[in-house]
Amino acid sequence: MNASTKRPLFQQPLTLFLCLALLLSGGLGTVAGLFAGEQKFISVGPVAALAAEGEAEKERKIKYWAAPMDPTYIRNGPGKSPMGMDLIPVYEDQVSGGSTISIDPVTSQNMGIRTDLVVRADLSRQISTVGLVGYEEPTQYSVNAKIAGWVEKLYVNETGQRVKKGQPLLEIYSPELVSAQEELLLAKNTLVAVSRSSFPQIAESGRRLLDASRQRLKLWDVSDEQIRKIEESGQVQKLLTLYSPYDGIVSMKMVNEGMYIKPGMQLLEISDLSRVWVYADLYEYELPWVKVGQQATIYLPYVGSDPLVARINYIYPYVEAKTRTVKARIVLDNPGFELRPDMYVKVRLQAETVIDTLVIPQEAVLYSGEQQTVFVALGEGKFEPRLVKSGLQDGKGRIQILQGLQEGEKVVISAQFMLDSESKLREAIQKMLEVGQETDSESAEDLFGDESAEDMEELF
């Protein structure tokens, strides 16, 4: 037979061998070209697909081997895990860069991951808190004893009793007061006697003595009217009446009729209720919303009572140790005495609206020490942890974002703790691999010294 003569395709040894192998493996799909001598290819159906998949597997590069039940157990080659299971390969295209993680849709659904958009919106907050009515401190007065003596008559003998300025409070007998009155009358008589003297110095001394006697009584809260009556009558009064110097109610009473009192002893406390203070309790996270001069609405516990409108007068610069709140002071006029000290009221504050700011749901933020982290959905099952700086929080579960996010991005609002743990695990593994690569490169340098890369290639 001429060497140039072509043999039929089915008579060629290689073709017969391939057909026999396909028949034995059960994967024969379509054998074509056996009838036309010009055809030189064989179509094998599924076998071709398996071959292509094998080629793709060869192209993927294995980064490391990990235990199926413990992702932190990694090795450079195949082997057994501490639990006796075969290590599985982890390819480079499966490892996310940095702390970014990838999750398939089925796992994401099982974890219950939900996302929400970063949007621009107006942020406002209405603060509802409790308030306590108190006395206006500058209009609280204390009535003290400036001399020693006995209370012979007590005109104001009830706590809560209303008093007016100039109203008699009590009558007191004091030997010191009696002596001071006698000195006053003696000084007056002396002045009358020396006024006819030819020596003007003597008359001037008499006038100074009378003025000193009057001043002494005034320092003991004896009024000018009482002193005038003593001088006109020329008689010493055994009992001297003390009058109220202020308007208000008796908020405290520490004296009883017949009691012996000493100088400096507090007898009564008088408080003016025409104006009162309301102390509103504010939590620390509410403080950025509250400012001096802000409008406040007060609701009384009475049924059918009208709300009262006032403004914040002062915010105290300290936190109450027991309640962990800061008090805001609201000043209210109280002409009808509807507001009573130690009464609880409801306070509502409408904070100023923050216009056009970035907001996200509050549950999207993870707090870890000084850092605030959110997970951003990048699409295709990838999630990236990102540090953010937050601002104000409103009453609808939204929080202001000052930096770290952009409008239109998607943030995770559920299952962030599982994503956070997975992200930290991936980051730790990445760092372990980087340390291992650095160690291998250092070992190679120590082994070959200062030889160049070309010398290394010649060796191998």
- What is the distance between the alpha carbons of residues 241 and 257, in angstroms, rounded to a whole number? 13
Domain 105-122+355-423 has CATH 2.40.420.20: yes
Per-residue model confidence (pLDDT) at position 109: 82
**Would the pLDDT of 155 be above 90?**
yes
Which comes out higher in pLDDT, residue 383 or 133?
133
Burial state string for 86-99 with b = 16 or more CB within 10 A and e = fewer than 16 = ebeebeeeeebeeb
C-alpha dihedral sign at 209, 212, 213, 214: positive
Per-residue model confidence (pLDDT) at position 253: 93
Residue 392 · residue 400 · CB < 8 Å: yes
**Would the pLDDT of 138 be above 80?**
yes
Which comes out higher in pLDDT, residue 434 or 203?
203
Could you name the CATH architecture of 125-167+247-352? Beta Barrel (2.40)
Confidence tier at 439 by pLDDT (50, 70, 90)? low
- Joined together, the tokens standing for residue 127 give 């603060």
Closest CA to 156 of 243, 246, 226: 243
Percent with pLDDT over 70 in the chain: 75
Least confident of 9-13, 37-41, 73-77, 295-299: 37-41
- Joined together, the tokens standing for residue 4 give 């140039």
Q: Where are the domains of the chain?
A: 9-59, 64-95, 105-122+355-423, 125-167+247-352, 172-243
pLDDT in tens, 373-382: 888 888 888 8
C-alpha dihedral sign at 139, 140, 142, 143: positive
- How does the average pLDDT of the chain come out, rounded? 79
- What is the distance between the alpha carbons of residues 48 and 52, in angstroms, rounded to a whole number? 6
Residue 331 · residue 318 · CB < 8 Å: no
Name the residue type at position 409. E
